[in-house]
Amino acid sequence: MLESTGTEIESSGRLGAILGVSVPETHRQMYAEAKQFADEVLIPAADLHDREESFPESQVNALAEKGFLGILAPEQYGGMGLDNLALTLALEEINRGCASTGVTLSVHNSLLSSPLLHFGTEEQKERFFPGLASGKSLGAYAITEPDHGSDALSIETTCRKEGDEWILNGTKAWITNGSRAGTIITFATMDPALRSKGINAFVVDPSMPGFSVGKKELKLGIRGSDTVQLVFDEMRVPAANLLGEEGQGFKIAMHTLDGGRVGIATQAVGIAQACLDAAVEFAEGHEMFGRRLADNQLVSHKIADMATRIEASRLLTLRAAMLKDAGAPHSRQASMAKLSASEIANDAARMALEIHGGAGIGRQSPIERLFRDAKICEIYEGTSQIQRLVIARHVRPDRS
């Protein structure tokens, strides 16, 4: 009988064997808790939040109570003080259950908490981490603009210093958690002519004068996540909220995006695994021409291809997370993980839909939602084309 693989990683002891290391008890417990939460809470509610385009507030609050919004936050500020491997294990299961909830947690942990941890001053950490770790303050990351997505060097949001404040002007677009965030990392340029050397990073919040939330984005998938425009109109930001040093913003953005790509790779693996689970369940439970679909060679080959590529993407993602935890270069591995995982997420959704046939097109099947949710994984945190450029730069010989 065909069996879905991947969601029983730790209970079968396979995780340690795959990674070749002893997995800490904290990680095993987190994985098991995330898996149970996905099965019992997220999956039953995922279709409803998708149809209503409603934010999964109760689910996010429950995860905050479990500590999942403070996975990377230091223990002295109320966080778990864990690593990116732990975050990756948890996020795969959360995304398997509901990609809208998953991207909410991913942005909060990998795009907000991580740069604050690496580049924030002790005063900034003391000020922001307690709220982030408890979930009282949701995090957002604002770099994308209406006319600038992949080209971060060309951002048009400006910043100028006046006394002990910075004045920001501009609009950010497609910002996950934007209207619900209490803590936002955003980027602005002192002078576009300075290119990378002119970009600053700031930690801002909605109470600052000149801040407003713009339009809500209407989306193809992950409709339960909060995605909006943010408007800065002479927004006054205290100088103490500058993250890192002046002109260091682009460096912070690129460092953060490597971690963000691991997060989206994890999301894609979770979506792909959900597609595989649904395909196996349907193939085992339905017959055609007097035999189970699972016994049809064409169907079994699709399932074999899905399982193999998902496992490969999972390994790439776990490796990138472990390299990040080790403080080793991981830009190439993060891009490889995101490229591989996002493409199998879309291919798995397509193959699962083909296995379901007409039953997969209707709203009564989770495949229709998963098919739409998968697409964004090839776009945000750097498109597949951008990932290929990054990978090629790392593997080509030095031409200088």
How far is residue 387 from each of residues 104, 145, 314, measured CA to CA in Å?
Answer: 22, 20, 17
Tokens 């002109």 correspond to what residue?
247
Q: Are strands 199-204 and 242-243 parallel, antiparallel or unpaired?
A: antiparallel
Angle between helices 99-106 and 84-97 (to 10 degrees): 160
- Distance CA(144)–CA(150), nearest Å, equals 8
**From 93, 368, 378, 381, active-site residue:** 381
DSSP structure class, residue 28: H
For residue 143, which phi and psi values (nearest 5 degrees)?
-125, -35
Residue 92: active-site member? no
For residue 390, the 8-state DSSP code is H
Write out the DSSP string of 318-360: HHHHHHHHTT---HHHHHHHHHHHHHHHHHHHHHHHHHHGGGG
Task: Give catalytic residues, as residue numbers.
Answer: 381
